[in-house]
């Protein structure tokens, strides 16, 4: 019976790849194929779940394809099925089926009709990989797919300024969650000395044995997992991204940010509960953040002028309560709450355009003054302060910019001395020196060998920060991202067992996708002339093929599953020692910022209002 669970991952994945070959003009077949694929998944899910329930509903764990394996490391796909999977499977299949049927008419004659259904199937594939994942490595594959499909759907109206800008903003928050998951996987590898499966976490004796001697590492892994979950589920301090994500079409807002994607954070907390359930301080912390988020989000929702934003903050408040329930160990109650919140928010978002017109008419003909609320019982100064803070969304956006993005930009602006000339005369000789030191590693002082990986990784981080903040030259930014990977490879090569073939595997994807992307940039520059990133260029309208090739190159260079770069990045973390905290942090931050830099290049060059004046200037928002 275990062998059948991988079918639920294959159906949407095969459906996505087949949908790419359907002609763009054939709307009926595109929509029919999409809801037939999801409908097949729904029927099989119901049949399989009923059969599973009436056959003792035992937990199933299936080890699937081994992607890469060495003497000390194995990266394999693992699929897991239990009651948590059943709930998310049925909710996901039913709601996605409803959305595909609804979108068939809602998006009729929309320019991006095919693109929308392609991305929905792509998202559904990632969602199923996440909920069926049996280890963190498999989950991370689906996690990345959810991130890029979110970006594509928020930027669906790609000729408009705000949808594209907010898509980049949401993607940047998702990348923060990626840092937490990457570092959690790294620490887990050192805690268990192998790729641990979720089924093994149910073994209390095994978990207790490892955590009793590694209390600090256990707490750090739990916190990193929570950071990833908080970023994905819009908990404090990451709550401000969810209303910005509503720039996409209403159906995508419903399926992503009302029901499925926004609850993935709660899913990962449920899945890893047995790891941190005996860490009482962690449970208190999670509950406290959930409670604070619920209060702040409720107050913010009450002053929103946009119905979509009001629904978004209401959903954030409910997810905060779900986090409290998970921390309290109320697993079944939390699953019921997730299902109820998902169905309610999907319904509210789908009917929101109609509700607005109804409310306007009702207020015009039947105006009723608001009733006394709980805020009226507070002192006037406190009430007014809460009102202003809620209007400003508690300055969460400003907080992220002030303490995260602006320091990065300021640091990047101090690197303006980095030009093609300095790269050649300074960094090229430094890299040659690194190769020489690597060749004569055995003759070096052990203390020097200990600190060299951190130094090389920091140089790579500096280069990718400059790539992220570069505004003048697209080619410069692209080359800096490629060089970052080479410096990371150099840093890790000083650790034992990371041999030449591992470097080749990692850098093969970097070189191939880097060259393809660079050729695409040169071709576009030859056609259009000047290319910069001071504003959105919108070149996708006149050069869609170049844009598609460049997007694929960006994904390959950023380590999108399951490219050689992705496998190489996972392999790199397996060779970072437990005591090399700074090295792990520099490498993780480099991978996250290079993904942001690449998506920023793509968005600035190909999306947004067109730079040419003979194209119609689109509205700022959808």
What is the tens place of the pLDDT at every residue in 168-225?
888 888 888 888 888 888 888 777 776 777 777 777 777 777 677 777 888 888 899 9
Q: What pLDDT score was predicted for residue 412? A: 78
- Give the confidence band of 290 by pLDDT, cuts at 50, 70, 90: very high
63: DSSP letter: E
DSSP conformational letter for 77 = E
Q: Which residue, 197, 225, 204, 214, is CA-closest to 282?
A: 225
Residue 133 DSSP one-character state: B
Could you check whether the bond before residue 482 is cis, i.e. omega within 30 degrees of 0? no
Q: How confident is the model at residue 287 (pLDDT cuts 50, 70, 90)?
A: very high
User: How is residue 381 written in tokens?
Assistant: 């100064």
Pick the range with the lowest mean pLDDT from 40-44, 279-283, 581-585, 596-600: 581-585
Q: 611-616: long-range contacts (C-beta < 8 A, 24 or more apart)? A: 611/535, 611/536, 611/537, 611/538, 611/539, 615/538, 615/541
Please give the share of the chain, as a percent, with pLDDT higher than 90: 13
C-alpha span between 249 and 257 (Å, rounded): 11
| 448 has pLDDT over 80 | no
Does the pLDDT at position 364 exceed 60? no
Specify whether the CB–CB gap between 491 and 591 falls below 8 A: no
- Matching residue, tokens 């992503």: 256
CA distance 203 to 190: 18
CB neighbours of 44 closer than 8 A, spacing ≥ 6?
A: 7, 8, 11
Is the predicted pLDDT of residue 139 greater than 90, yes or no? Answer: no
CB 71 within 8 A of CB 13: no
Residues linked to residue 75 through DSSP beta bridges, in sequence order: 68
Residue 61, pLDDT score = 79
Nearest to 221 by CA among 491, 578, 591, 595: 578
**Across 234-263, average pLDDT:** 83
> Quick one: pLDDT at residue 70?
65
pLDDT bracket for residue 35 (50, 70, 90): confident
Mean pLDDT of 114-118: 89
Please determine, for residue 44, whether its predicted confidence score (pLDDT) is greater than 70. yes
Rounded (10°) angle between helices 474-492 and 544-557? 20
Angle at 271 between CA 266 and CA 275, to 5 degrees: 115
The whole-angstrom separation of Cα 540 and Cα 136 is 35
Q: Where does the pLDDT of residue 615 fall: very low under 50, low under 70, confident under 90, or very high at 90 and above?
A: low
Number of Cβ atoms within 10 Å of the Cβ of 417: 9
pLDDT classification of 420: cutoffs 50, 70, 90: confident
**Banded model confidence at residue 560, pLDDT cuts 50, 70, 90:** confident
Q: Taking all residues of the chain, what is their mean pLDDT, rounded to a whole number?
A: 83
Residue with tokens 């699953």: 335
Residues 119-122: contacts with CB within 8 Å, 24+ apart?
A: 119/149, 119/152, 119/153, 119/156, 119/252, 120/34, 120/96, 120/153, 120/252, 120/255, 121/12, 121/15, 121/16, 121/19, 121/34, 121/37, 121/38, 122/16, 122/149, 122/152
Model-level pTM? 0.89
Tokens in use for 14? 């095969």
pLDDT of residue 324: 94
State the pLDDT at residue 497: 66
User: Radius of gyration over alpha carbons of the chain, in Å?
Assistant: 25
Picking from 233, 216, 228, 190, the residue whose alpha carbon sits closest to that of residue 282 is: 216
CA proximity to 242, closest of 194, 148, 193, 174: 174
* Highest-scoring range by mean pLDDT, 197-201, 524-528, 569-573: 524-528
Tokens of 204: 């209390």
* Token pair listed for 546: 């170049």
Residues composing the chain: 622
What phi and psi values does residue 453 have, to the nearest 5 degrees? -55, -40
CB-based contact 201:272 (threshold 8 Å): yes
Say which residues have a Cβ less than 8 Å from residue 497's Cβ, sequence separation at least 6: 70, 71, 72, 575
Q: Give the C-alpha separation, 247 to 265, whole Å.
A: 21
Mean pLDDT of 395-417: 79
């Amino acid at each position: 019976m275990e062998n059948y669970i991988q079918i639920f991952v294959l159906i949407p994945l095969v459906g996505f790849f087949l949908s790419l070959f359907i002609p763009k003009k054939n709307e009926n077949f595109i929509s029919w194929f999409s809801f037939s694929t999801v409908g097949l998944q729904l029927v099989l899910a119901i049949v399989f779940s009923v059969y599973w329930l009436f056959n003792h509903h035992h937990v199933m764990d299936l080890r699937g394809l081994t992607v890469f394996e060495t003497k000390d490391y194995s990266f394999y796909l693992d699929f897991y099925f239990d009651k948590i999977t059943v709930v998310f499977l049925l909710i996901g299949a039913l709601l996605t089926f409803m959305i595909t049927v609804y979108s068939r008419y809602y998006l009729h004659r929309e320019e991006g009709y095919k693109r929308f259904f392609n991305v929905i199937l792509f998202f559904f594939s990632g969602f199923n990989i996440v909920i069926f994942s049996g280890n963190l490595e498999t989950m991370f594959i689906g996690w990345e797919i959810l991130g890029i499909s979110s970006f594509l759907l928020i930027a669906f109206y790609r000729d408009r300024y705000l949808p594209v800008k907010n898509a980049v903003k949401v993607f940047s928050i998702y990348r923060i969650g990626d840092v937490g998951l990457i570092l959690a996987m790294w620490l887990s590898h050192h805690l268990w000395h192998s790729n641990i499966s979720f089924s093994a976490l149910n073994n209390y004796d095994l978990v207790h044995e490892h955590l009793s001697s590694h209390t600090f590492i256990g707490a750090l892994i739990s916190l990193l997992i929570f950071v990833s979950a908080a970023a994905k589920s819009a908990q404090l301090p990451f709550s401000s991204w969810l209303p910005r994500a509503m720039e996409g079409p209403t159906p995508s807002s419903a399926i992503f940010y009302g029901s499925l994607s926004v609850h993935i954070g709660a899913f990962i907390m449920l899945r890893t509960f047995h790891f941190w359930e005996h860490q009482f301080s962690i449970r208190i912390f999670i509950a406290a953040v959930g409670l604070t988020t619920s209060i702040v989000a409720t107050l913010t929702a009450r002053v929103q002028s946009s119905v979509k934003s009001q629904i978004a903050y209401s959903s954030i408040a409910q997810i905060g309560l779900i986090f409290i329930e998970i921390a309290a160990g109320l697993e079944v109650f939390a699953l019921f709450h997730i299902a109820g919140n998902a169905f309610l928010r999907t319904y509210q978002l789908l009917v929101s355009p109609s509700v607005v017109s109804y409310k306007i008419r009702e207020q015009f003909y039947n105006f009723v003054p608001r009733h006394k609320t709980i805020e009226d019982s507070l002192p006037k100064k406190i009430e007014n302060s809460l009102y202003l803070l809620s209007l400003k969304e508690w300055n969460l956006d400003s907080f992220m910019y002030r303490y995260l993005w602006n320091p990065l930009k300021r640091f990047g602006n101090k690197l303006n001395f980095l030009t093609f000339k300095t790269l050649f005369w300074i960094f090229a000789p430094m890299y040659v020196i690194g190769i020489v030191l690597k060749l004569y590693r055995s003759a070096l002082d052990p203390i020097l060998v200990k600190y060299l990986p951190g130094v090389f990784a920091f140089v790579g981080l500096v280069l990718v920060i400059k790539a992220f903040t570069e505004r003048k030259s697209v080619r410069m930014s692209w080359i800096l991202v490629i060089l970052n990977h080479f410096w990371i490879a150099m840093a890790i090569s000083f650790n034992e067992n990371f041999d030449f073939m591992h470097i080749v595997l990692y850098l093969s994807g970097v070189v191939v996708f880097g060259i393809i992307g660079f050729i695409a940039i040169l071709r576009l520059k030859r056609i259009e002339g000047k290319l910069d990133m001071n504003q959105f260029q919108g070149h996708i309208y006149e050069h869609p093929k170049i844009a598609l090739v460049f997007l694929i190159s960006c994904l390959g260079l950023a380590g999108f599953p399951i490219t050689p770069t992705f496998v190489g990045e996972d392999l790199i973390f397996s060779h970072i020692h437990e005591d090399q905290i700074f090295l792990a942090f520099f490498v993780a931050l480099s991978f996250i910022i290079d993904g942001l830099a690449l998506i920023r290049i793509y968005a600035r060059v190909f999306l947004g209002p067109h730079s040419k004046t003979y194209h119609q200037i689109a509205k700022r928002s959808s």
